[in-house]
């Protein structure tokens, strides 16, 4: 039985495992190497079940463990050409012969189809991923300032979606700790999805067949789980969709507690 296991999820660290107890894929490695292994273990996933890692972009909250992983394992790592260039240039990975560009994913050592697509984010070449096998299609998409046609085309038709709901607009606006330029960056078309924007897209996703929605990458400073849940539930209810009947809704925890979603 396949699982979607959020290991860490916030503006400070992000990583998600998709697979089962024997083999699967890690999307990003934004916490420490030790925390990754502990998070997997809490979900009853041995670390050697990780057969490859796909990276969305080079920001620190998505790559923290990569250097240690490339030093101590031979797990293949895949990223877009732009992201890979930044990872190598910045010394965030050890070029040990296991670094690959997304264009090589068709030959990745795992029995699922992995596709990638661009996301609008202020990084070198940010991407999201979909994972398909048997009758399943799972999508992971965070760090996007808005939903593009490319994002929409790739995510619609997924049965499980891990999607960003990064900030609540009123909390971001009233956050006196954040300077104006940072608020503008977050809310820009190459920043992050607000709860309202995520809710709008979730309605499209459920209409297209999504049955499991997992909200991830919530800001600890500019959002709360209750705000994110409320925005999505209310928007979907206004479209005639009821939680636990038409779809399930979960929030990815900041730190994994062992809870996973069966997909």
pLDDT tens digits for range 80-103: 999 999 999 999 999 989 999 999
**pLDDT at residue 257, as a whole number:** 74
Q: Tell me how far apart the alpha carbons of residues 184 and 199 are, in angstroms, rounded to a whole number.
A: 21
Asked whether the beta carbons of 5 and 252 are under 8 A apart, the reply is no
Count CB neighbours of 110 within 10 A. Answer: 16
Q: What is the pLDDT of residue 51?
A: 98
Higher model confidence: residue 180 or residue 258? 180
**74 pLDDT higher than 90:** yes
pLDDT confidence of residue 22: 95
Is the confidence at residue 30, as pLDDT, over 80? Answer: yes
Angle between helices 195-207 and 225-238 (to 10 degrees): 40
If one counts every other C-beta atom within 10 angstroms of the C-beta of residue 46, the result is 11
DSSP string, 180-217: HHHHHHHHSTTS--BHHHHHHHHHHHHHTT--EEEEE-
Q: For 186-190, what is the mean pLDDT?
A: 98
| Among the listed residues 118, 196, 206, the one whose alpha carbon sits nearest the alpha carbon of residue 161 | 206
- Residue 258 pLDDT exceeds 90: no
- Mean pLDDT over the full length of the chain: 96
Instruction: Please name each of the domains of the chain with its CATH number.
Output: 3-262 (3.60.15.10)
pLDDT at residue 249, as a whole number: 97
User: What is the model's pLDDT at position 135?
Assistant: 84
- Enter the pTM of the model: 0.96
So what's the pLDDT on residue 7?
95
Q: What is the pLDDT of residue 102?
A: 97
DSSP code of 105? G
Calculate what percentage of the chain has a pLDDT beyond 70: 99
Q: With bands split at pLDDT 50, 70 and 90, how would you rate the model's confidence at 1?
A: low
Please tell me the predicted confidence (pLDDT) of residue 260: 72
């Amino acid at each position: 039985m396949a699982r979607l296991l959020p290991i860490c999820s916030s503006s400070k660290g992000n990583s998600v495992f998709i697979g089962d107890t024997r083999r699967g894929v890690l999307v990003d490695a934004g916490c420490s190497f030790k925390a990754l292994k502990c998070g997997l273990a809490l979900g009853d996933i041995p670390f050697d079940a990780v057969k490859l890692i796909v990276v969305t972009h080079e920001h620190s909250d998505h790559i923290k463990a990569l250097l240690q992983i490339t030093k101590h394992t031979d797990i293949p790592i895949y990223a877009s050409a732009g992201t890979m260039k930044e990872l190598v240039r910045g010394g965030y990975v050890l070029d040990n012969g296991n670094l690959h560009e997304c264009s090589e994913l068709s030959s990745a050592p795992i029995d699922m189809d992995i596709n990638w697509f661009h996301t609008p984010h202020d990084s070198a070449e940010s991407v999201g991923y979909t994972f398909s096998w048997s009758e399943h299609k799972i999508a992971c998409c965070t760090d996007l300032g808005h939903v593009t046609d490319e994002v929409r085309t790739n995510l619609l038709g997924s049965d499980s979606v891990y999607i960003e709901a990064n900030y609540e607009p009123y909390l971001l606006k009233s956050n006196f700790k954040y300077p104006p330029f940072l608020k503008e960056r977050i809310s820009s078309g190459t920043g992050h999805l607000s709860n309202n924007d995520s809710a709008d897209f979730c309605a499209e996703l459920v209409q297209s067949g999504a049955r499991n929605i997992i909200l991830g990458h919530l800001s600890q400073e500019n959002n709360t789980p209750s705000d994110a849940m409320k925005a999505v539930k209310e928007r979907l209810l206004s479209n005639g969709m009821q939680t636990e009947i038409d779809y399930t809704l979960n929030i990815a925890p900041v730190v994994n507690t062992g809870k996973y979603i069966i997909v």
